[in-house]
A and B are shown apart, each in its own frame.
Chain A
């Protein structure tokens, strides 16, 4: 799997947008970008994924640069419940390859 680089921590004011960056400069053409988050003492939760187009769902938006070497996860209106560690992972579309977690970004949403 390609490696990803994320800032270790970020703060965000409650109600504001949280923008979490991820660098994946060695991503291969068949690899997707996945985002998961882990709230303290819980299992990881799927957020969103994408290949090259921007994606949006009820939780977040994913913006992938045209060269696919970086992406940004956007939580449009962060709440205190969004405080968690956010993991950006790249993985091939098919096959049995498991998700391999890096260190992630610890997002603290502040009231």
Chain B
């Protein structure tokens, strides 16, 4: 099956620093990747959608200058949390869709990255 990896799995940083999270599709080409955020005891919230080679589309209320998304290749997307603050502490999950999918348009999810900002 299609595998999506994320790195790092956990990161702790100081307030004001920037953190980059990588999302890779290991055995397929991801034309579209999605980034979600999940706070404790809450559901996943979609942050943005990115298509390879074009700018990401952000959901309402998500600051594009704070959460920089780059989808430079068909197997890699990165999310950079700039000038992180404690309220950015969350579980970040990426998801990928491939043009090679079967007709039901499945999304494959990464294992998530736990960000803690001190």
A-side residues, CB < 8 A to B, are: 32, 36, 38, 41-46, 49, 87, 91, 93-96, 98-104
Contacts and interface: CB of A to CB of B under 8 A. Distances in A.
A93 to B, nearest CB: 7
Contacts of B106: 46, 49
Interface residues of B, number: 26
A17 to B, nearest CB: 25
Nearest to A43: B109
B95 interface: yes
Given A43-B109, A45-B109, A101-B43, A32 B93 contact: no
A41 B91 contact: yes
Contact of B111 (A43, A49, A96, A98): A43
The 5 A-B residue pairs with the shortest CB-CB distance in the complex, in nearest-first order: A43-B109, A101-B44, A101-B43, A98-B34, A44-B109
B95 A98 contact: yes
Contacts of A98: 34, 46, 49, 95, 107
A23 B49 CA distance: 27
Contacts of B108: 46
A96 B109 contact: no
Interface string B3-24: 0101000000000000000000
Nearest to B10: A41
Contacts of A91: 105
A41 B95 contact: no
A77 to B, nearest CB: 23
Given A44-B44, A46-B106, A99 B112 contact: no
20 contacts: A38-B44, A41-B114, A42-B112, A43-B112, A44-B44, A44-B93, A49-B104, A93-B103, A93-B104, A95-B105, A96-B49, A96-B51, A98-B34, A99-B34, A99-B107, A100-B46, A101-B36, A101-B44, A103-B43, A104-B43
